Each structure stands twice: as structure tokens, then as C-alpha cells.
Structure 1
Amino acid sequence: MTTPFSIVFPLYAGMTHLDFTGPHQFLSRLPGAQLTVASVGGVAVKADGLTFADLAKLEEIEHCDVLCVPGGASCTNAMQDPVFMAAVRRLAAGARYVTSVCTGSLILGAAGLLEGRRAACHWAWREFLPLFGAIPDPGRVVRDGNLITGGGVTAGIDFAITLAAELADANVAQAIQLGLEYAPAPPFNAGHPDTAPVEIYTMVSSISGANNKRRRGEVEHAAEAYAAGKRAAA
């Protein structure tokens, strides 16, 4: 893509900021990219100890070529915000690519955008995708038509490089990767449930499992609203 194109990141309080800042860092170096960071009302957004300010008003953005929804533990709160969700649906309807990172895919699901489509999500939340008619995919970056989703948090960087290659070409994507020296070599092989030591996985999954009891109720509430909307439209 050689002409200017717009990428919108809709933010909300309590998101995981690396879901947004990781892709934003890489895509900001993409020639022709016009990045907009927005929130409902343009209010400042707090996330993991950081505050993002001077944001655009999400509800006033008319169109984007790429919509990228970040995730976070508070994604269930975003699902309950009618203004936020209406903006996600509206922008997705006109976007060339609809994308997400981590649990941002659940927001896309709650917006009615994942029915019958494969999507990635953080491993601890992936079980919720079928509530929105989605097909869970354990891939780090998953593509289904114009839907491109990244897995948990740091997968957002791989997602951004994949998207950069799609929007420009592989050489541009690799040049950005090199410029940012993205050559991951973690000191521990504990970044995935299949490779983490058993005791580490047990510890983390027990915490996630306890939290998921509350999360399931919140996600199911959003899924019920999604189903009710489908019935009303039928």
C-alpha cells in the first residue's frame, strides 16, 4: 500500500498497555501510516501505571483502514460500554482490516465480528471465544479473511510485523524489525503453556482459573447481549 492509510487504536481504562504500545511502536514506522489513538470522549486512559492523554474522541472518528483493538483484564468493562462498542462496530464495518491483540478479540466477538471465524486470544481467556461464535486458534498470529488477531500481549509485536508486511511488503516489515532490533531471545522458555515449567504453569493457571470464575460471568453477560442483538436483527 503506497497511499496514506489510517490505523485506529481504541483505548479503554485498564487495558494492557503493551497490547497497544507494542504494535503502535512498529506500525508508527510504516511509511504512509497515519495512527490515531482514541478513547470515548477523548478522556485520558490509565493502564498498568501509565496514563495516555491527548486522545482523539473515538465516537467522532468517521473511518479507518485498520482497526486494532487491544486487550486487558478490563476488556469485560469495555464490552459493557455502549458508546465504545458502537464505535468498534461502526469502524469495523468500513475498515479494510479488523484486528486485535490478546483479549481484544473478545471485544470483537462481543461486537458481533467473529461469528464462524478463527481468532487468537491470550491462552488463559481463549475458552471464552466460542461464546461469541468464534473458533479459537492457538496461533500467535491468526488470519481469517480481513480479520487478523494476535495472541497474548507480546504476540502483538509479531502481529504488527505481519500486518506491516500486508500493508506494505515483507522488505519494509523486515526493515522495521531490524531497526527496532526485534530478535527475541528470552532468558527463560516459560512464555507458553506448552514450554513453561510445570510448577510455573500450575501457579499462573491457578490464578487465572480463579479469576476466570468471575470473568466468565462478565463475558457470558456480553455474549447474551450479543445473542439478543442477533435475534432482534433476524
Structure 2
Amino acid sequence: MHAQFVLFDGFDPLDVIAPYEVLHTAGIVSGGAVSAELVSAEGARPVPSSIEGLTLNATGRLDPYRADLVLVPGSAPSGDELEAAESSGYGQLTSATRALREQAPQSTLLSLLTHSMRQPGTTVAAVCGGSLLLAMTGLLSGRRATTHHLGMDLLGAAGVHVVSARVVDDGDLVTSAGVTSGLDLALHLVERELGPRIVHSVEILLAYERRGTVWRPRGSLPKVFGDPRPVR
């Protein structure tokens, strides 16, 4: 499995680094069955994160025809945006995400993400506000997904079937909630691809055990509370 982690100006670094280390470690444990790289829509370049002074280097260009997994991070909100999110309920629509959405008609990144979503055999994963980036450009309409708890209403307003879970597996779309949930998402993807023995070894090496239940559209329907929350 080859994974490409998408970087864009203003990305949240932990959304990238946490799952990247999980997949990198899985590659070591499995003898090379997993590989990962940092990419951008423009190709190799330094990409500034949402944390001042912290930059990661993309080593190549996002290529949906070469990647088995494309992971989309969110963008960490500023203090002012967090205050606005708490009062309005529209959390995680940060300045970086807004800028990308407004550039949608001419955005190379959004074009490549669209190709990724439509490419047979490619799984698209999103951490935290990455779900909102995809949803606000119409790519998740009718799908089941989650995001940071402050962005749930906005996700539902974009036509997504919102599931309040730490990780939501909707087949070729896998999403996770708040920032640290990227660890759980990546470990789930490793287990889905390589099985429990490999992922157990990764957990031991990283001294981390997964949290929460991965939600999937299977099994008996709950009789109370519904499944999932209806779209508003």
C-alpha cells in the first residue's frame, strides 16, 4: 500500500505527522508492504503549516493514479476562529479551508482530490477538518463521515451523513474526528490492509493503543438514537 499525505499551506501538522509515523512504522514491521510520502498539488516544495515556524517538505506531487491511499489533513484554527466556532457552531472552517474552497473552480489540489475520490481502488482518508475540506467542495455528499466535534453541524449542512465516532469507515472513504484521532485512523487502515498481527506490533512500538470503536455501515441497526444522525 502506497500512501500520499497531502500538504497545503496552513495544514495542521499533527494531522499529518501522527498517521505518517504509524504508516512508516507499519512499513518497517511488514518488511516494506507499506510506503508513505508527503506530497502537494504543486510538487516538491516547502509547505508552511498552521503553526508558525513549522514547515514540512513535500517530496513529490499528488498523483491519484499512483496512490492506494490519499490522506487529507485539516487546518488548525486560530484563537479567534476557535472563539467564533464556539459561539456559532461552525467550527474548523479555518482561513486555510475557506481559501481552498473559494478557489475550488481553479484549484489544482481540489481537482486532484476529486480524481482521488473517483479513482477505483484508491482510498481517501481525512483527519479532523480534512473532512470539511472535502465536504465543502461537494465531494462527500451522501457519504458517511465524521470530523472535529466543532464542525459536525457544518459537515451535515454539506449533505454528509454525520456519524459521531472517532473513526468512520465508509469503504473507500475513511474519516476521523479530532486531531489525535489520526493515530486511530492510521492504525485501522493498517489493520484493514495487513491484519491484526502487524498493527499490534505497530501499537507496541509506538506505545499507543487505539481508542474508540470504528463505525462501519454493517451489523444490526440500533433501536435508539438512530444511525447515523440525520442530515439537517
Q: TM-score, normalised by structure 1?
A: 0.71
CA contact (8 A) 2:184 2:210 kept: no
User: Is 1:45 aligned with 2:47?
Assistant: yes
Tell me the equivalent position of 2:215.
none
8 Å Cα contact 2:64/2:70 also seen in 1: no
Equivalent positions of 1:51-130 (< 5 A) are: 51-58=55-62, 62-72=65-75, 73=94, 74-81=96-103, 82-94=107-119, 95-130=121-156
The 1-side partners of 2:58 and 2:151 are apart by 31
Q: Is the 8 A contact 2:64 2:122 kept in 1?
A: no
Partner AA of 1:39 in structure 2: S
Shift of 1:112: 3.1
Runs of 4+ aligned structure 1 residues displaced above 3 Å come to none
Residue deviations 1:192-226, cap 9 Å, x none?
A: xxxxxxxxxxxxxxxxxxxxxxxxxxxxxxxxxxx
Query: Which residue matches 2:15?
Result: 19
In 2: Cα distance, 1:111 partner to 1:135 partner: 15
The Cα of 1:131 is off from its aligned counterpart by: 2.9
Unaligned runs of 5+ in 1: 186-234
Offset from partner CA, 1:165-192 (integer Å, 9 cap, x none): 001101111110110111589xxxxxxx
| Amino acid in the other structure paired with 1:75 | T
Q: Tell me how far apart the structure 1 counterparts of residues 4 and 138 of structure 2 sit (CA, whole Å).
A: 19
The amino acid of 2:108's aligned partner reads V
User: Structure 1 pair 154/176, CA: closer, same or farther in 2 (3 Å)?
Assistant: same
**In the superposition, relative to structure 1, how do residues 93 and 44 fare at CA in structure 2: closer, same or farther (>3 Å)?**
same
Question: How many Å apart are 1:61 and its aligned residue?
Answer: 5.7
Distance 1:55 1:181, change over 3 A: same
Show the counterpart of 2:88. Answer: none
Work out the number of aligned pairs and report it.
180
Superposition TM-score, scaled by structure 2 size: 0.72
Amino acid paired to 1:36? E
Which SS does the other structure have where 1:125 is aligned? helix
- Where 1:45 maps in the other structure, the secondary structure is strand
